[in-house]
């Protein structure tokens, strides 16, 4: 009964909002237009999004980074409290049995895609300041490489290529790396995240000051955190399958 009036009201509001928008293709944000002109000269990064996220508004990104860190840690704490050793052994048997169930073309496709995913992820992380992409995007691509191993039915190998201590280490080291670079700005520069490294030559792999370093630490952190979250969920799925 209430649905139709609500839809009409919402539609009217949307139409009203859209008519008040600036004309298509006419951007007038002062911040964006200014950065477009100064970013290349100031930071020598050809992908302007990168200095914006890691430098001009870097402290925001530091906060976002720790949101993901907290989410991964929370996931691990909540889900691990539910599992016990006995069931974990049973789960690895179950995992071995599952490997047989996956169809061969799926296994072949997953196996073929793992290496390209790793290379692409590393490329996207390393070239964050030059081309679109960066630590976050590259990190998730790297995490998807380990997920491909799982999709290929290799739950045991999934654990082998991404052992939990290593994931936790990557998560922590990446987050700490970002924070340390930020503090480095306080120590060697003027403020937190102030650039304290040479800017180098534009379009070189090692240029744009701290940006490659920040991209690398975010890449490690994101790859670790996403894989950790997924591996905790995978564990749960295997445990429960066994209990049924």
Partner 1 sequence: MTALQALALVLVAIGGGAVVFTRDPSRQAVVASLFGVLLAVLFFLFQAPDVALSQITVGTVALPLMILLALSKIRQGEDS
Query: Within a 10 A sphere around the Cβ of 85, how many other Cβ atoms?
Result: 6
Q: Does 140 interact with partner 1 (rule: CB under 8 A)?
A: yes
Query: Whole-angstrom Cα distance, residue 143 to residue 148?
Result: 9
Per-residue tokens: 64: 């976002």
Residues with Cβ within 8 Å of residue 203, at least 6 apart in sequence: 46, 130
Q: Is the dihedral of CA 27, 29, 33, 36 positive or negative?
A: negative
Q: Does 32 interact with partner 1 (rule: CB under 8 A)?
A: no
- Out of 132, 191, 198, 204, which residue is the one contacting partner 1 (CB under 8 A)? 132
Q: Does 3 interact with partner 1 (rule: CB under 8 A)?
A: no
Q: Does 147 interact with partner 1 (rule: CB under 8 A)?
A: yes
Closest CA to 119 of 135, 101, 138: 138
- Out of 61, 137, 146, 207, which residue is the one contacting partner 1 (CB under 8 A)? 137
Q: Which is nearer to partner 1, 79 or 179 (CB)?
A: 79
Contact present, 215 and 55 (Cβ < 8 Å):
no
Quick one: how far is CA 84 from the chain centroid? 30
Per-residue tokens: 48: 């302007």
C-alpha dist (Å) from residue 4 to 9, 10, 24, 89, 183:
9, 10, 31, 55, 55
- Out of 51, 58, 133, 174, which residue is the one contacting partner 1 (CB under 8 A)? 133
Q: Which is nearer to partner 1, 202 or 237 (CB)?
A: 237
Q: Report DSSP state, residue 21.
A: S
Pick the piece of the chain touching partner 1 (CB under 8 A) from 9-17, 32-40, 99-107, 226-234.
226-234
Pick the piece of the chain touching partner 1 (CB under 8 A) from 9-17, 32-40, 212-220, 234-242.
234-242
C-alpha dist (Å) from residue 204 to 46, 132, 196, 199:
10, 15, 18, 10
Task: Give the interface size with partner 1 as a residue count (CB under 8 A).
Answer: 26
Pick the piece of the chain touching partner 1 (CB under 8 A) from 104-112, 142-150, 157-165, 170-178.
142-150
Q: Does 188 interact with partner 1 (rule: CB under 8 A)?
A: no
For residues 78 to 117, the per-residue mask of contacts with partner 1, x marking binding by CB under 8 A and - elsewhere, is ----------------------------------------
**Nearest approach, Cβ of residue 234 and partner 1 (Å):** 7
The position carrying tokens 């905790």 is 232
**Nearest approach, Cβ of residue 195 and partner 1 (Å):** 20
Instruction: Give the residues lining the site for partner 1 (CB under 8 A).
Output: 24-25, 47, 49, 124, 132-134, 136-137, 140-141, 143-144, 147, 226, 229-230, 233-234, 236-237, 240-241, 243-244
């Amino acid at each position: 009964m209430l649905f139709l009036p609500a839809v009409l009201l919402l539609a009217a509001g949307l139409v009203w909002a859209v008519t008040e928008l600036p004309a298509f293709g006419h951007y007038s944000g002062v911040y964006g237009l200014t950065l477009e002109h100064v970013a290349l000269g100031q930071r020598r990064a050809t992908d302007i999004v990168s200095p914006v996220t890691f430098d001009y508004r870097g402290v925001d990104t530091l906060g976002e980074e720790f949101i993901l860190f907290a989410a991964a840690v929370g996931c691990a704490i909540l889900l691990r409290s539910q599992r016990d050793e006995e069931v974990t052994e049973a789960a690895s048997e179950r995992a071995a049995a599952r490997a047989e169930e996956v169809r061969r073309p799926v296994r072949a496709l997953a196996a073929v895609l793992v290496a390209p995913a790793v290379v692409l992820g590393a490329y996207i992380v390393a070239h964050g300041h030059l081309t679109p992409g960066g630590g976050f995007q590259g990190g998730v691509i790297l995490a998807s490489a380990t997920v491909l191993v799982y999709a290929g039915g290799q739950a045991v190998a999934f654990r082998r290529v991404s052992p939990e201590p290593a994931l936790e280490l990557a998560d922590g080291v990446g987050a700490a790396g970002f924070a340390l670079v930020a503090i480095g700005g306080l120590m060697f520069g003027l403020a937190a995240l102030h650039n304290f490294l040479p800017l180098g030559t534009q379009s070189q792999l090692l240029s744009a000051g701290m940006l490659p370093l920040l991209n690398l630490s975010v890449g490690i952190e994101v790859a670790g955190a996403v894989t950790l979250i997924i591996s905790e969920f995978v564990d749960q799925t295997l445990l429960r399958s066994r209990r049924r």
